[in-house]
Structure 1
Protein backbone atom coordinates (compact mmCIF):
# COMPACT_ATOMS: atom_id res chain seq x y z
CA UNK A 1 0.00 0.00 0.00
CA UNK A 2 1.09 3.57 -0.70
CA UNK A 3 -1.70 5.25 1.28
CA UNK A 4 -2.84 4.86 4.89
CA UNK A 5 -4.69 6.70 7.66
CA UNK A 6 -3.94 6.63 11.40
CA UNK A 7 -6.93 7.48 13.62
CA UNK A 8 -6.65 8.45 17.29
CA UNK A 9 -8.65 6.41 19.80
CA UNK A 10 -10.61 9.52 20.82
CA UNK A 11 -12.28 9.66 17.39
CA UNK A 12 -15.17 7.55 16.09
CA UNK A 13 -14.28 6.40 12.60
CA UNK A 14 -15.68 3.94 10.08
CA UNK A 15 -13.71 2.65 7.11
CA UNK A 16 -15.25 3.00 3.66
CA UNK A 17 -14.67 -0.45 2.19
CA UNK A 18 -15.56 0.65 -1.34
CA UNK A 19 -12.64 3.07 -1.22
CA UNK A 20 -9.81 0.81 -0.08
CA UNK A 21 -7.15 0.57 -2.77
CA UNK A 22 -3.38 0.38 -3.02
CA UNK A 23 -3.14 4.14 -3.59
CA UNK A 24 -6.23 5.37 -1.74
CA UNK A 25 -7.95 4.80 1.58
CA UNK A 26 -10.90 6.67 3.11
CA UNK A 27 -12.65 6.75 6.49
CA UNK A 28 -15.69 8.61 7.83
CA UNK A 29 -15.07 10.44 11.12
CA UNK A 30 -17.90 11.69 13.33
CA UNK A 31 -17.55 15.38 14.24
CA UNK A 32 -19.60 17.89 16.22
CA UNK A 33 -19.69 21.65 15.62
CA UNK A 34 -22.01 23.90 17.63
CA UNK A 35 -24.06 20.88 18.63
CA UNK A 36 -24.52 19.63 15.08
CA UNK A 37 -23.13 16.17 14.32
CA UNK A 38 -21.77 15.49 10.86
CA UNK A 39 -19.51 12.90 9.29
CA UNK A 40 -16.38 14.03 7.46
CA UNK A 41 -14.66 11.64 5.08
CA UNK A 42 -10.87 11.77 5.34
CA UNK A 43 -8.86 10.36 2.47
CA UNK A 44 -5.19 9.56 1.95
CA UNK A 45 -4.31 9.36 -1.74
CA UNK A 46 -1.19 8.71 -3.80
CA UNK A 47 -1.08 9.79 -7.45
CA UNK A 48 1.71 7.79 -9.14
CA UNK A 49 4.00 9.90 -11.30
CA UNK A 50 4.51 7.05 -13.80
CA UNK A 51 0.80 6.68 -14.58
CA UNK A 52 -0.20 6.97 -18.24
CA UNK A 53 -3.41 8.74 -17.19
CA UNK A 54 -3.65 12.40 -16.16
CA UNK A 55 -4.18 13.02 -12.44
CA UNK A 56 -6.15 12.41 -10.37
CA UNK A 57 -6.60 8.64 -10.35
CA UNK A 58 -9.95 7.06 -11.18
CA UNK A 59 -10.31 5.97 -7.54
CA UNK A 60 -9.95 9.54 -6.26
CA UNK A 61 -12.35 10.86 -8.91
CA UNK A 62 -14.90 8.25 -7.80
CA UNK A 63 -14.56 9.25 -4.14
CA UNK A 64 -14.90 12.97 -4.87
CA UNK A 65 -17.98 12.31 -6.99
CA UNK A 66 -19.43 9.97 -4.34
CA UNK A 67 -19.13 12.63 -1.62
CA UNK A 68 -20.27 15.51 -3.84
CA UNK A 69 -23.44 13.74 -5.00
CA UNK A 70 -24.37 12.79 -1.41
CA UNK A 71 -23.33 16.16 0.09
CA UNK A 72 -20.74 14.47 2.33
CA UNK A 73 -17.85 16.54 3.68
CA UNK A 74 -14.46 15.46 2.31
CA UNK A 75 -10.82 16.16 3.19
CA UNK A 76 -8.04 14.70 1.02
CA UNK A 77 -4.36 14.52 1.88
CA UNK A 78 -2.60 13.77 -1.36
CA UNK A 79 0.91 13.01 -2.60
CA UNK A 80 0.03 14.41 -6.00
CA UNK A 81 3.44 14.11 -7.67
CA UNK A 82 2.28 17.20 -9.55
CA UNK A 83 3.69 20.71 -9.66
CA UNK A 84 1.72 23.91 -10.06
CA UNK A 85 2.53 27.44 -8.92
CA UNK A 86 -1.07 27.72 -7.69
CA UNK A 87 -0.22 25.49 -4.72
CA UNK A 88 3.30 26.85 -4.20
CA UNK A 89 5.46 24.84 -6.61
CA UNK A 90 8.36 26.54 -8.37
CA UNK A 91 6.96 25.68 -11.79
CA UNK A 92 3.88 24.22 -13.46
CA UNK A 93 4.02 20.84 -15.20
CA UNK A 94 1.52 19.05 -17.40
CA UNK A 95 0.40 16.92 -14.46
CA UNK A 96 -0.09 20.04 -12.36
CA UNK A 97 -2.19 21.67 -15.07
CA UNK A 98 -4.33 18.54 -15.50
CA UNK A 99 -4.98 18.23 -11.77
CA UNK A 100 -5.91 21.91 -11.40
CA UNK A 101 -8.25 21.74 -14.40
CA UNK A 102 -9.99 18.71 -12.87
CA UNK A 103 -10.40 20.42 -9.48
CA UNK A 104 -12.06 23.37 -11.21
CA UNK A 105 -14.90 21.03 -12.22
CA UNK A 106 -15.55 19.90 -8.62
CA UNK A 107 -16.49 21.46 -5.28
CA UNK A 108 -12.99 20.78 -3.90
CA UNK A 109 -10.66 23.61 -2.88
CA UNK A 110 -6.95 23.78 -2.09
CA UNK A 111 -5.99 24.24 1.56
CA UNK A 112 -2.27 24.71 0.83
CA UNK A 113 -0.72 27.94 2.12
CA UNK A 114 2.67 29.37 1.12
CA UNK A 115 5.51 27.76 -0.78
CA UNK A 116 7.48 25.81 1.82
CA UNK A 117 8.58 22.54 0.13
CA UNK A 118 6.60 19.46 1.10
CA UNK A 119 9.07 17.10 -0.60
CA UNK A 120 12.70 17.53 0.45
CA UNK A 121 15.82 15.66 -0.60
CA UNK A 122 19.41 16.79 -1.03
CA UNK A 123 18.75 17.18 -4.76
CA UNK A 124 15.19 18.50 -4.84
CA UNK A 125 12.91 20.69 -2.72
CA UNK A 126 9.42 21.12 -4.14
CA UNK A 127 5.71 21.36 -3.31
CA UNK A 128 4.08 18.20 -4.68
CA UNK A 129 1.65 17.42 -1.84
CA UNK A 130 -1.79 19.01 -1.73
CA UNK A 131 -4.59 19.13 0.81
CA UNK A 132 -8.13 19.36 -0.57
CA UNK A 133 -11.39 20.21 1.20
CA UNK A 134 -14.92 20.61 -0.08
CA UNK A 135 -16.15 24.22 0.02
CA UNK A 136 -18.16 23.84 3.25
CA UNK A 137 -15.41 22.02 5.16
CA UNK A 138 -12.86 24.56 3.91
CA UNK A 139 -14.51 27.10 6.22
CA UNK A 140 -13.68 24.81 9.16
CA UNK A 141 -10.05 24.30 8.09
CA UNK A 142 -7.33 26.47 9.61
CA UNK A 143 -3.65 26.50 10.53
CA UNK A 144 -2.39 24.64 7.46
CA UNK A 145 1.39 24.44 7.58
CA UNK A 146 4.39 22.36 6.58
CA UNK A 147 6.43 21.22 9.58
CA UNK A 148 10.16 21.76 9.11
CA UNK A 149 11.58 19.04 11.35
CA UNK A 150 12.67 15.68 9.94
CA UNK A 151 9.78 13.28 9.41
CA UNK A 152 11.98 10.24 8.62
CA UNK A 153 10.66 10.54 5.08
CA UNK A 154 11.32 12.55 1.93
CA UNK A 155 8.00 14.26 2.59
CA UNK A 156 7.50 16.83 5.33
CA UNK A 157 4.64 16.48 7.79
CA UNK A 158 1.65 18.74 7.03
CA UNK A 159 -0.64 19.79 9.88
CA UNK A 160 -3.96 21.64 10.00
CA UNK A 161 -7.09 21.80 12.13
CA UNK A 162 -10.69 20.98 11.25
CA UNK A 163 -13.11 22.55 13.74
CA UNK A 164 -15.09 19.94 15.60
CA UNK A 165 -12.51 17.18 15.10
CA UNK A 166 -9.97 17.84 17.83
CA UNK A 167 -10.14 16.94 21.49
CA UNK A 168 -6.60 18.11 22.24
CA UNK A 169 -5.71 20.78 24.77
CA UNK A 170 -5.26 24.17 23.11
CA UNK A 171 -2.13 26.15 23.92
CA UNK A 172 -1.81 29.95 23.52
CA UNK A 173 -1.24 31.19 19.98
CA UNK A 174 2.38 32.01 19.13
CA UNK A 175 4.82 32.39 16.28
CA UNK A 176 7.13 29.49 15.43
CA UNK A 177 10.39 30.88 13.91
CA UNK A 178 11.34 27.40 12.67
CA UNK A 179 8.30 27.46 10.39
CA UNK A 180 9.20 30.80 8.78
CA UNK A 181 8.73 31.01 5.02
CA UNK A 182 12.07 32.66 4.26
CA UNK A 183 11.31 33.20 0.58
CA UNK A 184 8.20 35.16 1.56
CA UNK A 185 10.21 37.01 4.22
CA UNK A 186 12.80 38.17 1.70
CA UNK A 187 10.28 39.09 -0.98
CA UNK A 188 8.19 41.10 1.52
CA UNK A 189 11.21 43.10 2.68
CA UNK A 190 12.35 43.68 -0.90
CA UNK A 191 8.94 45.02 -1.89
CA UNK A 192 8.79 47.28 1.18
CA UNK A 193 12.26 48.72 0.52
CA UNK A 194 11.97 49.00 -3.25
CA UNK A 195 13.01 52.48 -4.34
CA UNK A 196 14.81 53.25 -1.09
CA UNK A 197 18.39 54.63 -1.36
CA UNK A 198 21.15 52.01 -1.22
CA UNK A 199 23.74 54.31 0.34
CA UNK A 200 23.33 57.07 2.90
CA UNK A 201 25.92 59.79 3.43
CA UNK A 202 24.34 61.94 6.13
CA UNK A 203 23.45 61.07 9.72
CA UNK A 204 20.09 62.80 9.44
CA UNK A 205 19.18 60.77 6.37
CA UNK A 206 20.28 57.59 8.14
CA UNK A 207 17.95 58.30 11.05
CA UNK A 208 15.06 58.97 8.66
CA UNK A 209 15.52 55.63 6.88
CA UNK A 210 15.89 53.57 10.07
CA UNK A 211 12.17 53.49 10.82
CA UNK A 212 11.07 52.22 7.36
CA UNK A 213 13.76 49.54 7.56
CA UNK A 214 12.57 48.37 10.98
CA UNK A 215 8.96 48.34 9.79
CA UNK A 216 9.91 46.32 6.69
CA UNK A 217 11.72 43.72 8.80
CA UNK A 218 8.80 43.42 11.24
CA UNK A 219 6.19 43.26 8.46
CA UNK A 220 8.26 40.62 6.66
CA UNK A 221 8.49 38.50 9.80
CA UNK A 222 4.78 38.80 10.58
CA UNK A 223 3.83 37.86 7.00
CA UNK A 224 6.20 34.88 6.77
CA UNK A 225 5.72 33.60 10.33
CA UNK A 226 2.04 34.08 11.25
CA UNK A 227 0.65 33.41 14.70
CA UNK A 228 -0.52 29.82 15.05
CA UNK A 229 -2.37 27.92 17.75
CA UNK A 230 -0.50 24.77 18.73
CA UNK A 231 -1.99 21.75 20.42
CA UNK A 232 -0.79 19.39 23.08
CA UNK A 233 -0.91 15.75 22.04
CA UNK A 234 -0.16 12.62 23.99
CA UNK A 235 3.36 12.23 25.29
CA UNK A 236 5.51 9.89 23.22
CA UNK A 237 6.95 7.43 25.73
CA UNK A 238 9.96 6.41 23.62
CA UNK A 239 11.17 9.97 22.95
CA UNK A 240 14.43 10.90 24.68
CA UNK A 241 16.89 13.77 25.04
CA UNK A 242 19.29 11.88 22.79
CA UNK A 243 16.74 11.66 19.98
CA UNK A 244 15.76 15.29 20.46
CA UNK A 245 19.40 16.36 20.17
CA UNK A 246 19.89 14.21 17.05
CA UNK A 247 16.83 15.83 15.48
CA UNK A 248 18.15 19.32 16.28
CA UNK A 249 21.54 18.44 14.83
CA UNK A 250 19.97 17.03 11.67
CA UNK A 251 17.86 20.16 11.24
CA UNK A 252 20.87 22.43 11.74
CA UNK A 253 22.98 20.48 9.23
CA UNK A 254 20.12 20.54 6.71
CA UNK A 255 19.88 24.32 6.99
CA UNK A 256 23.63 24.56 6.44
CA UNK A 257 23.60 22.18 3.46
CA UNK A 258 20.64 23.99 1.92
CA UNK A 259 22.46 27.31 2.29
CA UNK A 260 25.91 26.32 1.00
CA UNK A 261 24.94 23.63 -1.57
CA UNK A 262 28.30 21.97 -0.83
CA UNK A 263 28.66 18.20 -1.27
CA UNK A 264 30.57 17.95 2.00
CA UNK A 265 27.74 19.62 3.94
CA UNK A 266 25.16 17.41 2.22
CA UNK A 267 27.11 14.32 3.30
CA UNK A 268 27.20 15.58 6.90
CA UNK A 269 23.42 16.04 6.76
CA UNK A 270 22.84 12.54 5.34
CA UNK A 271 24.98 10.99 8.09
CA UNK A 272 23.13 12.89 10.82
CA UNK A 273 19.75 11.90 9.39
CA UNK A 274 20.76 8.22 9.30
CA UNK A 275 21.80 8.45 12.94
CA UNK A 276 18.49 10.11 13.82
CA UNK A 277 16.41 7.48 11.99
CA UNK A 278 18.38 4.63 13.58
CA UNK A 279 17.88 6.07 17.07
CA UNK A 280 14.12 6.47 16.51
CA UNK A 281 13.70 2.91 15.22
CA UNK A 282 15.73 1.50 18.10
CA UNK A 283 13.75 3.49 20.68
CA UNK A 284 10.41 2.37 19.22
CA UNK A 285 11.53 -1.26 19.26
CA UNK A 286 12.80 -1.13 22.83
CA UNK A 287 9.94 1.03 24.06
Structure 2
Protein backbone atom coordinates (compact mmCIF):
# COMPACT_ATOMS: atom_id res chain seq x y z
CA UNK A 1 0.00 0.00 0.00
CA UNK A 2 1.55 3.38 -0.99
CA UNK A 3 2.42 5.75 1.85
CA UNK A 4 -0.10 8.38 0.66
CA UNK A 5 -2.89 5.81 0.55
CA UNK A 6 -1.96 4.66 4.05
CA UNK A 7 -2.16 8.24 5.31
CA UNK A 8 -5.64 8.71 3.78
CA UNK A 9 -6.83 5.46 5.34
CA UNK A 10 -5.55 6.44 8.78
CA UNK A 11 -7.25 9.84 8.55
CA UNK A 12 -10.54 8.28 7.38
CA UNK A 13 -10.30 5.63 10.09
CA UNK A 14 -10.13 8.18 12.89
CA UNK A 15 -12.44 10.82 11.43
CA UNK A 16 -15.25 8.33 10.83
CA UNK A 17 -14.63 6.45 14.09
CA UNK A 18 -14.15 3.08 12.40
CA UNK A 19 -13.24 -0.05 14.37
CA UNK A 20 -11.37 -2.35 11.97
CA UNK A 21 -9.51 -1.89 8.68
CA UNK A 22 -8.66 -4.77 6.33
CA UNK A 23 -5.37 -3.85 4.63
CA UNK A 24 -3.57 -5.78 1.90
CA UNK A 25 0.15 -5.45 1.23
CA UNK A 26 0.89 -3.46 4.42
CA UNK A 27 4.22 -2.07 5.50
CA UNK A 28 6.23 -4.55 7.56
CA UNK A 29 8.06 -3.30 10.65
CA UNK A 30 11.04 -5.29 11.91
CA UNK A 31 10.36 -7.92 9.24
CA UNK A 32 7.25 -8.98 11.17
CA UNK A 33 3.46 -8.76 10.92
CA UNK A 34 1.41 -9.15 14.09
CA UNK A 35 -1.46 -11.63 14.03
CA UNK A 36 -2.31 -15.32 14.46
CA UNK A 37 1.18 -16.66 13.62
CA UNK A 38 0.06 -19.87 11.91
CA UNK A 39 -2.21 -17.92 9.52
CA UNK A 40 -0.14 -14.77 9.01
CA UNK A 41 2.47 -14.09 6.34
CA UNK A 42 3.31 -11.41 3.78
CA UNK A 43 0.03 -12.05 1.90
CA UNK A 44 -2.36 -12.67 4.80
CA UNK A 45 -3.04 -11.30 8.26
CA UNK A 46 -5.49 -12.96 10.66
CA UNK A 47 -6.53 -11.79 14.13
CA UNK A 48 -9.19 -12.61 16.70
CA UNK A 49 -11.65 -10.09 18.10
CA UNK A 50 -14.48 -10.45 20.60
CA UNK A 51 -17.95 -9.15 19.82
CA UNK A 52 -20.10 -8.12 22.76
CA UNK A 53 -23.36 -10.05 23.06
CA UNK A 54 -24.88 -8.56 26.17
CA UNK A 55 -23.28 -10.45 29.05
CA UNK A 56 -21.58 -12.86 26.64
CA UNK A 57 -19.03 -12.51 23.85
CA UNK A 58 -18.69 -14.09 20.41
CA UNK A 59 -15.20 -14.74 19.10
CA UNK A 60 -14.71 -13.60 15.52
CA UNK A 61 -11.69 -14.23 13.31
CA UNK A 62 -11.01 -11.50 10.77
CA UNK A 63 -8.58 -11.88 7.91
CA UNK A 64 -7.11 -9.56 5.31
CA UNK A 65 -5.75 -11.57 2.39
CA UNK A 66 -3.98 -10.91 -0.87
CA UNK A 67 -4.47 -13.76 -3.34
CA UNK A 68 -1.52 -13.78 -5.76
CA UNK A 69 -2.40 -13.33 -9.41
CA UNK A 70 -0.60 -16.52 -10.45
CA UNK A 71 -2.41 -18.76 -7.97
CA UNK A 72 -4.57 -21.59 -9.30
CA UNK A 73 -4.65 -23.95 -6.33
CA UNK A 74 -6.49 -22.13 -3.55
CA UNK A 75 -6.32 -25.20 -1.30
CA UNK A 76 -2.57 -24.61 -0.97
CA UNK A 77 -2.99 -21.02 0.27
CA UNK A 78 -2.90 -20.07 3.98
CA UNK A 79 -6.53 -18.98 3.65
CA UNK A 80 -7.56 -22.63 3.36
CA UNK A 81 -5.83 -23.40 6.64
CA UNK A 82 -7.64 -20.55 8.37
CA UNK A 83 -11.02 -21.62 6.97
CA UNK A 84 -10.38 -25.21 8.13
CA UNK A 85 -9.32 -24.00 11.58
CA UNK A 86 -12.47 -21.90 12.01
CA UNK A 87 -14.59 -24.84 10.89
CA UNK A 88 -13.00 -27.23 13.39
CA UNK A 89 -13.25 -24.73 16.24
CA UNK A 90 -16.74 -23.56 15.21
CA UNK A 91 -15.52 -19.96 15.01
CA UNK A 92 -16.96 -17.17 12.90
CA UNK A 93 -14.85 -15.69 10.09
CA UNK A 94 -14.84 -12.59 7.90
CA UNK A 95 -12.28 -12.22 5.09
CA UNK A 96 -11.51 -9.08 3.11
CA UNK A 97 -9.38 -9.97 0.12
CA UNK A 98 -7.80 -8.61 -3.03
CA UNK A 99 -8.78 -11.64 -5.07
CA UNK A 100 -7.27 -10.76 -8.46
CA UNK A 101 -10.10 -12.81 -9.97
CA UNK A 102 -13.06 -12.00 -12.22
CA UNK A 103 -16.51 -13.48 -11.80
CA UNK A 104 -19.92 -11.97 -12.51
CA UNK A 105 -21.17 -13.61 -9.29
CA UNK A 106 -19.42 -10.84 -7.32
CA UNK A 107 -19.99 -8.11 -9.88
CA UNK A 108 -17.02 -8.38 -12.26
CA UNK A 109 -17.56 -7.54 -15.91
CA UNK A 110 -16.59 -11.05 -17.03
CA UNK A 111 -15.42 -14.46 -15.79
CA UNK A 112 -11.84 -15.67 -16.03
CA UNK A 113 -10.32 -18.98 -15.03
CA UNK A 114 -9.10 -17.67 -11.69
CA UNK A 115 -12.64 -16.51 -10.99
CA UNK A 116 -13.95 -20.00 -11.69
CA UNK A 117 -11.35 -21.54 -9.36
CA UNK A 118 -12.09 -19.05 -6.62
CA UNK A 119 -15.86 -19.55 -6.85
CA UNK A 120 -15.30 -23.29 -6.48
CA UNK A 121 -13.14 -22.66 -3.41
CA UNK A 122 -15.85 -20.42 -1.90
CA UNK A 123 -18.57 -22.99 -2.57
CA UNK A 124 -16.62 -25.98 -1.25
CA UNK A 125 -15.83 -24.13 1.97
CA UNK A 126 -19.41 -22.88 2.40
CA UNK A 127 -18.39 -19.25 2.53
CA UNK A 128 -20.78 -16.40 1.77
CA UNK A 129 -20.01 -13.54 -0.64
CA UNK A 130 -20.99 -10.22 0.96
CA UNK A 131 -20.35 -7.99 -2.08
CA UNK A 132 -23.36 -5.99 -3.23
CA UNK A 133 -23.76 -4.61 -6.76
CA UNK A 134 -21.08 -4.20 -9.41
CA UNK A 135 -19.38 -0.91 -8.51
CA UNK A 136 -15.66 -1.32 -9.37
CA UNK A 137 -13.37 -1.87 -6.41
CA UNK A 138 -10.25 -1.36 -8.55
CA UNK A 139 -9.59 1.64 -10.78
CA UNK A 140 -6.52 2.88 -12.64
CA UNK A 141 -5.91 4.96 -15.78
CA UNK A 142 -6.70 2.11 -18.18
CA UNK A 143 -9.31 -0.11 -16.56
CA UNK A 144 -11.71 -0.69 -13.70
CA UNK A 145 -13.02 -3.94 -12.28
CA UNK A 146 -14.44 -5.70 -9.23
CA UNK A 147 -11.41 -7.53 -7.82
CA UNK A 148 -11.98 -7.25 -4.07
CA UNK A 149 -14.21 -9.64 -2.14
CA UNK A 150 -15.65 -9.76 1.35
CA UNK A 151 -16.36 -13.32 2.47
CA UNK A 152 -17.80 -14.73 5.67
CA UNK A 153 -18.96 -17.86 7.42
CA UNK A 154 -22.74 -18.32 7.07
CA UNK A 155 -23.81 -17.36 10.61
CA UNK A 156 -22.07 -13.98 10.77
CA UNK A 157 -23.55 -13.05 7.37
CA UNK A 158 -26.83 -12.35 9.12
CA UNK A 159 -25.22 -9.50 11.05
CA UNK A 160 -23.28 -7.81 8.22
CA UNK A 161 -25.05 -4.97 6.44
CA UNK A 162 -24.53 -1.69 4.57
CA UNK A 163 -21.77 -3.20 2.42
CA UNK A 164 -20.68 -0.62 -0.16
CA UNK A 165 -17.78 0.66 -2.21
CA UNK A 166 -17.02 4.06 -0.68
CA UNK A 167 -16.84 7.18 -2.85
CA UNK A 168 -14.03 8.86 -0.92
CA UNK A 169 -10.64 9.26 -2.60
CA UNK A 170 -8.28 6.52 -1.43
CA UNK A 171 -5.10 7.54 -3.34
CA UNK A 172 -4.79 3.86 -4.17
CA UNK A 173 -5.93 1.92 -7.23
CA UNK A 174 -8.26 0.04 -4.86
CA UNK A 175 -11.32 1.78 -3.43
CA UNK A 176 -12.29 1.72 0.24
CA UNK A 177 -14.99 -0.82 1.03
CA UNK A 178 -17.24 -0.30 4.04
CA UNK A 179 -19.69 -2.48 5.94
CA UNK A 180 -21.12 -2.76 9.43
CA UNK A 181 -21.42 -5.68 11.82
CA UNK A 182 -24.49 -5.23 13.99
CA UNK A 183 -24.99 -7.78 16.73
CA UNK A 184 -28.45 -7.33 18.21
CA UNK A 185 -29.96 -9.50 20.90
CA UNK A 186 -33.64 -10.46 20.81
CA UNK A 187 -35.80 -8.41 23.15
CA UNK A 188 -38.27 -10.07 25.49
CA UNK A 189 -41.89 -9.56 24.48
CA UNK A 190 -44.72 -9.88 27.00
CA UNK A 191 -48.15 -10.97 25.90
CA UNK A 192 -51.32 -12.56 27.27
CA UNK A 193 -52.73 -15.97 26.42
CA UNK A 194 -56.40 -15.89 27.52
CA UNK A 195 -56.94 -19.61 26.88
CA UNK A 196 -54.33 -20.60 29.47
CA UNK A 197 -55.24 -17.97 32.07
CA UNK A 198 -56.33 -19.23 35.49
CA UNK A 199 -59.36 -16.96 35.80
CA UNK A 200 -60.22 -18.13 39.34
CA UNK A 201 -56.75 -17.12 40.50
CA UNK A 202 -57.03 -13.86 38.53
CA UNK A 203 -60.37 -13.00 40.24
CA UNK A 204 -58.85 -13.79 43.65
CA UNK A 205 -56.04 -11.27 43.19
CA UNK A 206 -56.43 -8.14 45.41
- Normalised to the residue count of structure 2, the TM-score between the two structures is 0.71
Partners in 2 of 1:32 and 1:94 — Cα distance? 41
- 2:135 is aligned with 1:116: yes
Partners in 2 of 1:89 and 1:36 — Cα distance? 39
| 8 Å Cα contact 1:119/1:155 also seen in 2 | yes
Tell me, what secondary structure is at the counterpart of 1:37?
strand
Match among 27, 31, 48 for residue 28 of structure 1 = 48
Partner of 1:54: 73
Gaps of at least 5 residues in structure 1 are 166-287
Partner of 2:157: 138
Note the C-alpha offset of 1:50.
2.5
Tell me, what secondary structure is at the counterpart of 1:40?
strand
Match among 10, 15, 20 for residue 35 of structure 2 = 15
Evaluate the alpha carbon distance shift between residue 90 and residue 57 of structure 1 in structure 2; reply closer, same or farther with a 3 A threshold. Answer: farther
Tell me, what secondary structure is at the counterpart of 1:107?
coil
Q: Which structure would you say has the larger RCO, counting Cα contacts within 8 Å and 6 or more residues apart?
A: 2
Q: How many residues align?
A: 161
Match among 45, 64, 75 for residue 65 of structure 2 = 45
Evaluate the alpha carbon distance shift between residue 82 and residue 10 of structure 1 in structure 2; reply closer, same or farther with a 3 A threshold. Answer: closer
**Bigger fraction of residues in helix:** 1
Q: How does 1:196-211 map to 2 (within 5 A)?
A: none
Q: How does 1:221-232 map to 2 (within 5 A)?
A: none
Evaluate the alpha carbon distance shift between residue 131 and residue 56 of structure 1 in structure 2; reply closer, same or farther with a 3 A threshold. Answer: farther
Question: CA deviation digits over 1:97-137, x for unaligned, max 9?
Answer: 00001111112100000000000012111001000010000
Note the C-alpha offset of 1:57.
5.2
Partner of 2:25: none
- Normalised to the residue count of structure 1, the TM-score between the two structures is 0.51
Partners in 1 of 2:109 and 2:81 — Cα distance? 30
Question: CA deviation digits over 1:162-192, x for unaligned, max 9?
Answer: 1249xxxxxxxxxxxxxxxxxxxxxxxxxxx
Partner of 1:244: none
